Structure 1
Amino acid sequence: MAPTAGLVVDIIDLPQQVGSIKNIHLEIPAPADLGAEMIGAREGSPLVLDAELTSLDNGVLVRGHADVHLTGQCVRCLRDLEDDTTISFDELYFTPEAARAQAAEGDEEADELFILGESTLDLEPALRDALVLALPFQPLCREDCAGLCPQCGERLDDLPADHHHEQLDPRWSALASLLPDGADTDAADSEAAGSAVDDEEAQR
């Protein structure tokens, strides 16, 4: 995935002396696919990010937080969700040399380290990781959401408490499907019931 230009910050003016600090403030549109499948930041929605960059021997420590507007769907009833949230993140961005040293030492996670550019730092991967971890695995409109009626698909919370559907005897459902449109299903049920009685009498 190509870096989002607004989240790539210039660090050429951050002194390499350990402990040197640079503060940044960004107000940009959210990049695409920021979040999880059922909930996340819609592309182009407002994203406000503040971070403190601190020089270290082996890279730059980033401590930041971002205000994000979330949209999504309840996994039970598919109701639209909207929420504003703030996520925080602390990440160490390694110099290429330090990352190679980690790999040479047998660090199995060396390939997943955040790496500094020659004069830039891309905040997007740290932001994405932090947001995914902060989002609910199964977003709900409320904890006791009743979900959808399995028969009609309507939200159970919008239906009366005594909502139900007549359940036909499954033994005759195949016969009902053979009836032409507009046929009297009640008559078909009566005929099927009568056939069942005749069968029972014949077996006596």
Structure 2
Amino acid sequence: MQPIFIPNLLQLPERTEEFELEEFIEGLETLTPVRGSLSVTHQSTYLDVRSQAETIATLVCHRCLAHYNHRLQVDTQELIWLEAPKPDHPSADENQGDELLETLPPNGHFDPQEWLYEQLSLALPFQQVCSDDCPGIAVETPQESADVDSRWASLASLKEQLSQRED
């Protein structure tokens, strides 16, 4: 998918560019290509971007550190406002409203692959756990003092001498 020059959308039927997805997305580590559809519609003052897509990603469990496969699915829509940058316009950091807005210049480009990458990244689970009953990492504890690391032998010997004196 190549970036779309936004004014070119106005020349298309229904001002819409549609993509059938069957490709790997750069930067997104997946086992299967991203499959689905994506459409970008020019609505005069904003772009209406919609996508239904899925893929399978290999993740690392945060509890046991094992690799497992996870199905990523998105069914999303976003409105991206077309607004020319104004020198006296406050930046997004200075915006007084609570609403977050994405804007693009009306004569700029929209990158559908980057947008899809962002949507799939947001769909990744925050807590990556291979299963609900994942036990975590198995920790082995020494059973006998014979299992103690030989570097600690002097300390173990001193501890034993001190405990004999107290008796």
Alignment TM-score, normalising by the size of structure 1: 0.59
Find the counterpart in structure 2 of residue 92 from structure 1.
79
Residue of structure 2 equivalent to 1:67: 54
Q: Given the alignment, which residue of 20, 24, 29 partners 2:19?
A: 24
Match among 120, 126, 143 for residue 166 of structure 1: 143
Give me the whole-angstrom Cα distance separating, in 2, the residues matched to 1:194 and 1:67: 65
Per-residue CA deviation, residues 54-76 of structure 1 (Å, 9 max, x unaligned), is: 22121211011222221111111
Structure with higher Rg: it is 1
Give the structure 2 partner of residue 146 of structure 1.
135
Matches within 5 A, 1:41-80: 41-42=29-30, 45-80=32-67
The corresponding residue for 2:163 is 196
- Alpha carbons 2:57, 2:70 under 8 Å: kept: yes
Are positions 1:132 and 2:98 aligned together? Answer: no
SS at structure 2 position matched to 1:14: helix
Partners of 1:134 and 1:86 in 2: CA distance? 7
SS in 2 for 1:142: coil
Equivalenced residues, count? 160
Unaligned segments of structure 2, at least 5 residues: none
Quote the Cα distance in structure 2 between the aligned partners of 1:60 and 1:101: 23
The alpha-carbon distance between structure 1 residues 192 and 108, as it changes in their structure 2 partners (threshold 3 A), is closer
User: Superposition RMSD on alpha carbons, in Å?
Assistant: 4.0
Question: Any idea what SS the aligned residue of 2:68 has?
Answer: strand
Shift, 1:127, TM fit: 2.1
Q: Distance in 2 between matches of 1:102 and 1:91?
A: 26
Q: Which amino acid aligns with 1:133?
A: L
Unaligned 5+ residue runs, structure 1? Answer: 1-5, 35-40, 152-163, 181-187
Measure, in 1, the Cα distance between the counterparts of 2:70 and 2:88: 40
Once the two structures are TM-superposed, the CA of residue 179 in structure 1 deviates from its matched residue by: 4.4
